[in-house]
Amino acid sequence: MELDRRNFIKFVAGGVGGTLLSPLPWKLIDDIAIWTQNWSWVPTPARGKISHIDTVCTLCSGACGITVRKVGDRVVKIEGREDYPVNRGGICPLGMAGQQILYNEGIRWKAPMKRLGPRGSNRWKEISWIEAIDTVSTRIRGVRQSGNPEQVAAIDGNQSRSSVALLIRRLLETVGSPNYLVMPGQEHTSAMVQLLMQGSDGPVALDLENADFVLSFGCGLLDGWGAPGRMMHTWGEWVSRGPKERTFVVQIDPRASDTAMKADLWLAPLPGTEAALALGIAHVLVKEKLYHKEFIEGHSLGFDDWTGQKGITHRGFSSLVLEKYAPRDVENITGVKAELIIRVARKFAAARAPIAVAGRGKGLLPGGLYEHMAVHALNALRGRINKRGGALVAGNLPLSDWPEAERDSAARDGLERTRVDGAGTPHYPFARSLIHRFSESIRTGSPIDTLFICSANPIHTVPDSRGIEEALKAVPFIVSLSPFKDETSLMADMILPDHTHLEKMTDIVWPTGIQYPLYALSRPVVRPIYGTRHSGDVIISLAKKIGGSVARSFPWKNFEEAVKQRAKGLYDAGGGESSPEGSVPVWKRLAKGQSQSKGHSSFQSLWEDIKTSGCWYIPSHSFGRWTEAFQTPSGKFEFYSSAIEAAVKNSSKGGSLDTTLQELGIRARGDEVYMPHYEKPGSGADKGYPLHLLPIELINLASGWIGNPPFLNKTLFDYQLKGSDLFIEMNPKTAAEYGLSEGSRIILRSRRGELRARTHLFDGAMPGVVFIPVGLGHTAYDRYLKGKGANPYEIIERVEDPLSGQPIWWNTRVKVVKI
């Protein structure tokens, strides 16, 4: 056959038709599709037996119950525990992303490390645990022999009553150093208020679930404050009660925060004027005689004008607020309309179970002491102390004490010396620890030889973080116990890495803000995946290696034994429950006080129970006892704090009162000093810095020492973080004044430093204020975090709160430069 044009076309057409009719092309397309989808690097998750393990999340001191789903020996999912008394199912996004903290080896130290090269060069050599413990213990022995044991210091971010924190404290005590520092937090301010007004040192216990009116002064109730799982669950509870019983929430916040947007009423005072607003509400309560007469007359000191011991007439709290905080005056200070103040005060008074709570954002940083006192005074005015739905007066958990630590002569000597940060001295009478003063003294030459840093990342999470960084540069030897490659551990000389939360046992003694005694205990859900070691065990082995009286003070084989010894007290105390039933929440049972304890035959069986359930709690509270509630010198609730009076007197010994008050940073004079009042912040020179900078905390952006896990990056809007650009929030009107529009690139400059950002215009931002989310701007961690955004704490000015001495972080002025 001739191959002409016609035949050629016939052949090609026939060929095409024939091929199409055959299965070949379809098979090929299918194969190609499958082939392009089966790359070896697409992971195939291993199968295995699915199991669920109940434990407690210890990423913060909220202690939410979690269930960990495992496949084989891998953790695949974390869920909230419906039966756990704290959170009853709810957990926060950080807790839910816990597996990314466990398995992301890009952020973890896998073994003990020794620094090579200069500090911050990030060059390390892996060493054995024996060598690591040897090096550190030899160093401490050397410091002790040189006669300066106080040059060993620790910065500790563990919950202050937890066993790891107690072990670290004990190590310093037996070594002979008073320089044990804790990371600052709002809990410290609240504890100070309890001490000053109620004379008690018990935990802060707020019966929020039973309240029907919540007056929140900036507390980020839904932004991660307290135990976040508990707060979010409680909020769902509040609004599910139907229109009449529904808890009414008033949020006081300069920005439309998540809490403010969900609240029934949102008041926006100028930042830092919350105390004046609280006292304005107090004014209305006093003026309209809406206060609780029985409580005020029988159980409070300093409400009316009164005469003291030496016949001196003192001014009462009532006349102070009547004179100085009339709604019109408060309007001038705060910018909140007088009518609104009156309305809120009347509603607060009319509520059946109202509660006023102080705090800012997540409560990771301290608040203003007088401000917290002013807010707590509202609870007192309505007799809301130790009442159902109010602020409860609580004792401590009945844990056993460890045997007394042994102090040799070197230790006794060292402990006599003053703390480097000056906490507890006449200048800072109520502070337990002042991290910003610590860094300042180091920078100005106070010698610290060896510094331990545990569960904390002060270079990133403390206001004026650059100051901390400079201070750390001056410390010859830093030992980090962090499991993470965070900014602070990168500055260390030696890393003794801890396990992450899912790999270890941790106790949390009375989670933040819970209203009944609760002991939470987490258990390891997986075997440690790297060569890390429990910090508790590390401290014990260190002590043993140091030897002598130090070693004798740590008689335990391991951390669990030490924890167990403390928990023995729970068994001895009796009562208590350790297996939550789940049907009726604990807060509903408090008044009835029925405990359904199983009656354990031995401590061992209770201990096994606690290890499985993760909790031990007493579901009862005796409400209303006012006669025994207060341990103040007067035995009453003190509007006029005799503790402040005594401290000021002690501080001014031999000097003039005026100078002392100046040194304490108090502007008020006379009796006002001892009572809740509004201190106008010392802003001084606003010139050239027209805007106010306010760091804000978001529930879906981890801002503490734990770096934000990748899953949470998904939840950030692209007008919060875009590429590596952080967005600041600004009112459109303010932006217009500076010629800025959505997405403009700016430099934000304070007297302390500057940062680059872009603008997001948000109507809910107060004009004249710049809001910056906290938690970004890392220079450490992995590609998911490093180099993204900026850290507002770097440009925060170092100002101290009057009397408490804690750093103020809400009072920095900035200017904006468009680029």
Partner 1 sequence: MKSKDNATGTRYGMVVDLDKCIGCGVCVVACSSENNVSVLYDESDKTRNISWLKIYRITNGKGFPETEAVYLPRPCMQCDNPPCVPVCPATATRQDPNTGTVSQIYTRCIGCRYCMAACPYHARDFNWYDPSFPNGMDRYLSPEVSPRMRGVVEKCTFCHHRLMRAKAKAYAEGRRDIAQDEYIPACVEACPTKAITFGDLNNPKHEVSALIKSPYSFRLLERLGTEPKVYYLSTKDWVRRMADNYLEGEFIDRP
Q: Which is nearer to partner 1, 212 or 237 (CB)?
A: 237
Q: How far is the CB of 284 from partner 1 (least distance, A)?
A: 21
Q: How far is the CB of 225 from partner 1 (least distance, A)?
A: 12
Q: How far is the CB of 699 from partner 1 (least distance, A)?
A: 5
Would you say the C-alpha torsion 798, 804, 809, 814 has a positive or negative sign?
negative
Contact 500, 105 (CB under 8 A): no
Q: Which is nearer to partner 1, 191 or 330 (CB)?
A: 330
Contact 518, 531 (CB under 8 A): no
Q: Which is nearer to partner 1, 235 or 477 (CB)?
A: 235
| Element (DSSP H or E) covering residue 317 | helix 317-324
The span from the CA of 470 to the CA of 294, in Å, is: 54
Contacts of 40 (CB under 8 A, 6+ apart): none
Contact 199, 630 (CB under 8 A): yes
The span from the CA of 455 to the CA of 474, in Å, is: 21
Contact 151, 449 (CB under 8 A): yes
Q: Which is nearer to partner 1, 321 or 702 (CB)?
A: 702
Q: Which is nearer to partner 1, 597 or 713 (CB)?
A: 713
Q: Which is nearer to partner 1, 184 or 218 (CB)?
A: 218
Q: Which is nearer to partner 1, 233 or 384 (CB)?
A: 233
Q: How far is the CB of 632 from partner 1 (least distance, A)?
A: 38
Q: How far is the CB of 716 from partner 1 (least distance, A)?
A: 7
Q: How far is the CB of 724 from partner 1 (least distance, A)?
A: 8
Encoding tokens for residue 777? 């701007």
Q: How far is the CB of 206 from partner 1 (least distance, A)?
A: 18
| Element (DSSP H or E) covering residue 695 | strand 691-696
SS3 (DSSP) at 464 = coil
The span from the CA of 150 to the CA of 162, in Å, is: 23
Q: How far is the CB of 71 from partner 1 (least distance, A)?
A: 6
Q: How far is the CB of 771 from partner 1 (least distance, A)?
A: 12
- Quick one: how far is CA 78 from the chain centroid? 21
User: Smallest Cα–Cα separation from 152: which of 168, 130, 133, 166?
Assistant: 168
Contacts of 408 (CB under 8 A, 6+ apart): 176, 548, 549
The span from the CA of 468 to the CA of 219, in Å, is: 27
Q: Which is nearer to partner 1, 222 or 471 (CB)?
A: 222
Burial (CB count within 10 angstroms: exposed 0-12, middle 13-18, buried 19+), residue 617: buried
Q: Which is nearer to partner 1, 413 or 782 (CB)?
A: 782
Pairing of strands 745-749, 300-301: unpaired
Query: How many other C-beta atoms can be found within 10 angstroms of the C-beta atom of residue 75?
Result: 19
Q: Which is nearer to partner 1, 221 or 285 (CB)?
A: 221
Q: How far is the CB of 79 from partner 1 (least distance, A)?
A: 7
SS3 (DSSP) at 64 = strand
